[in-house]
Amino acid sequence: MEGTVTVTQTTSTTTTTAIPQLTPGTISTSPAGKGLAAATLFSFALGTAPSGGVPPYTIAWDFGDGAVGAGTTAAHIYASPGTFTAKATVTDSKAVSAQTSASVAVGDVTGRWHVTYTGIAHGSQDILLVQNQTDVTATINDPVDKLGSGAGSVSNPRTLSVSVAFAGALPAPYALTFIGKVDESLATWIGTVTGFAGCPCGFTATR
C-alpha cells in the first residue's frame, strides 16, 4: 500500500544589527580667549552631543593640570599660567570609550601697562603690575607725582582692581583706584579710575 509523506521545513533567519561607532562630540569652553590664573572659572561642555555606541554615556574630564571632573558639564580654575589640553572621555554602557580635547590658554597681568585717561588732562602713566595668585601689587613711577605703590586683585572672569597711593605727592597725598575688565587677549585693560578731581573717569591700559 502506497502512502504520502509530507515534509515540513522551517527556515530560521538571524538579523544582525550593526552598532555605530562611538563619537564623543566636541568640547566648548567659556569664557572665550585667555583666562587669568587663579581667577577665571572656565566652563566645559560637549558642544555636540555624543553619538553611536550603546547609550547611556558617562563623561570623565581631565583638565590638563592634574585635576579631574565628571558629568555632562564641568568647571575649573587654573592655578598657574600656561596652555592646557582639556580632555573629555565618553564611555558607553558597553565600556567602549572615545576621547575629545580642547586647548585652554591661561595668563596673568604681570607686566608694565601704559595707562591713558579720558575726560581729564593728566595724560598718561605707566603702571607696573605683579600678580601672585589672585593678589596684585602695583607701582607707578610718575615724573610729577613721584612714586606711587599699592595693591589689588583679580577675579572671575577677568576683572582687575588696583589702588595706588601717592604718599609724597604735592600738594597732598592721594590715591588712585582702577577697576576694569581685561580683554580676552590679556593685552588691554579698560575701566574707570577714581582719585582725580572730577572723576570717576575712563581709562585704557595696554601692554
More confident residue, 137 or 144: 137
Query: Which tens digits make up the pLDDT trace of 143-165?
Result: 665 789 999 999 999 999 999 99
SS (H, E, C) 64-92: CCCCEEECCEEEEECCCCEEEEEEEEEEC
Distance of CA 53 to the CA centre of its chain: 31
Pull the grid cell for residue 206.
Answer: 595696554
pTM for this prediction: 0.86
Q: Are 60 and 86 in contact (CB under 8 A)?
A: no
Comparing C-alpha atoms, which of 85, 129, 107, 139 is closest to residue 39? 107
Mean pLDDT of 173-200: 94
Q: Using 50, 70 and 90 to split pLDDT, how confident is the model at 10?
A: low
Rg, the chain, Cα only = 30
State the pLDDT at residue 1: 46
Query: What tens digit of pLDDT does each residue of 93-113 get?
Result: 999 999 999 999 999 999 999
Instruction: Give the architecture (CATH level 2) of 27-107.
Output: Sandwich (2.60)
- 111-206 classified as CATH 2.40.128.120: yes
CA 149/CA 206 separation, integer angstroms: 19
DSSP 8-state symbol, 110: -
Mean pLDDT for 174-183 is 95
Cβ-contact 74, 44 below 8 angstroms: yes
Question: Residues 79-88: pLDDT tens digits?
Answer: 999 999 999 9
Rounded to the nearest integer, the mean pLDDT of the chain is 91
What is the predicted pLDDT for the residue at 188? 98
Q: Where in the chain is the domain with CATH 2.60.40.10?
A: 27-107
pLDDT tens digits, residue range 23-76? 999 999 999 999 999 999 999 999 889 999 999 999 999 999 999 999 999 999
Q: What percent of the chain has pLDDT over 90?
A: 76
Beta-carbon neighbour count of residue 37 at 10 Å?
22
What residue ranges of the chain are covered by domains with CATH 2.40.128.120? 111-206
Q: What is the DSSP letter of 52?
A: S
Alpha carbon distance 65, 86 (integer Å): 9
Do residues 30 and 47 lie in contact, with contact meaning Cβ atoms separated by under 8 Å? no
